[in-house]
Amino acid sequence: MAKRQGGGNYLFESVDNWCKIDIPGVVSDVATDSEDRVYLAVRTAQAFDDNTGAILAFDRDGNHLNTFGEDKLRTPHGLWITPDDTIYLADTFDHCIRTYSPNGDPGMVLGVPGEPGPAGSPFNRPTLAVTSPVSDDLFVSDGYRQNRAHRFSPAGVDPEAASPYAHLKRGWENSEWELTASWGGGDLNYHDDLSWGSTEKHGTGPGEFLLPHGIAVDNEDRAYVMDRSNDRIQIFDRDGNYLTEWSTPSPNQGVFDTDGFMHVPGDGRMYILSPDGSEVAVWGERGHEPWQFIGGSHGLWIDSRGDIYIAQVGVPNAINKFARI
């Protein structure tokens, strides 16, 4: 039985039994393309020496269309889809970012698959890669081990800005991107007593991270980093200069809607934040009903109609759809 959720002007109704198949694993994240096709990042097997994953595609009614990426993916974590339908997948245990077409054709690889970056250098268990809505830049939260955020620009666009980070470049498999900003725990911007790149460090101060689990970019090119284990969202300009922060319990990800409000899954709930960070609505609860979260609210996407998809980790076969009403 469908149930109404949300608050204020944000009301949703659960779409029970949306997915028409049993998903073969844990759904880490979800995103939709320009035709509202739905893509799930699925961890099909997770063991010490046997991590596998795939991307599953569906129509908006939950009918399975295709599966791809099984030959490469190890631990799918964060999904992002651009307006031209390029799919970005952050593979945490493979230490890289991969792209795919909606049909599953592989594109570029950013990072060295299977090899974690050394201290200060991308990537060591990255969590999400997103594109800016106002520039051609790519922002990455990096993640479980580096406690950093990075900005990449198309190669050759801003070579002067790239030069301070030449020592962090690691011989990527492609030459499409240049690292043009990098910041976080251990950075000299925030720790005068630490050498450059001591990114095993983490902290609670401005610009320090304790698991940057996701990242979002607004229409002014500001980066919002989901500093999950510090229970906050930190906001930076595009160069990584600290601006402010919002207190939010265990933010996993942040997605802006068309009105500039941010929707944040975290701590088994959903938070809707205004452009100044104030809470507009808090909804969601744990439980076994179709509208409840049996696992953790981990990934989120908003489709063209304002409907919300929520991926849950901690349990297999858990994806929720809520229709905007």
Tens digits of pLDDT across the chain (325 residues): 678 889 889 999 999 999 999 999 999 999 999 999 999 999 999 887 789 999 999 999 999 999 999 999 999 999 999 999 999 999 999 999 999 999 999 999 999 999 998 888 899 999 999 999 999 999 999 999 889 999 999 987 655 554 566 656 555 555 688 899 999 974 444 333 333 333 446 788 999 999 999 999 999 999 999 999 999 999 999 999 999 999 999 999 999 999 999 999 998 899 999 999 999 999 998 888 877 898 889 999 999 999 999 999 989 999 999 999 9
- Which letter does DSSP use for residue 276 in this model? T
For residue 292, what pLDDT is reported? 86
In this structure, what is the dihedral angle of CA atoms 270, 35, 133, 75, given to the nearest 10 degrees?
60
End-to-end, the C-alpha distance of the chain in Å comes to 16
The encoded tokens of residue 162 equal 């790239």
CA distance 116 to 53: 19
CA distance 4 to 7: 9
For residue 196, what pLDDT is reported? 33
CA distance 113 to 74: 10
**Taking Cα atoms as reference points, which of 268, 271, 283 lies closest to residue 247?**
271
CA distance 227 to 137: 21
Strand partners, 42: 27, 54
Domain 25-262: give its CATH superfamily. Answer: TolB, C-terminal domain (2.120.10.30)
For residue 168, what pLDDT is reported? 62
- Given a contact cutoff of 8 angstroms between Cβ atoms, the answer to whether 156 and 145 are in contact is no
pTM of the prediction? 0.92
Residue 101, exposed/middle/buried by CB under 10 A (0-12, 13-18, 19+)? Answer: middle
- Given a contact cutoff of 8 angstroms between Cβ atoms, the answer to whether 271 and 250 are in contact is no
Q: What is the largest CA-CA distance in the chain?
A: 58
For residue 254, what pLDDT is reported? 99
**Taking Cα atoms as reference points, which of 51, 197, 24 lies closest to residue 114?**
51
- Given a contact cutoff of 8 angstroms between Cβ atoms, the answer to whether 25 and 34 are in contact is no
286 alpha-carbon distance from chain centroid: 22
For residue 199, what pLDDT is reported? 43
Find the DSSP H helices in the chain.
159-162
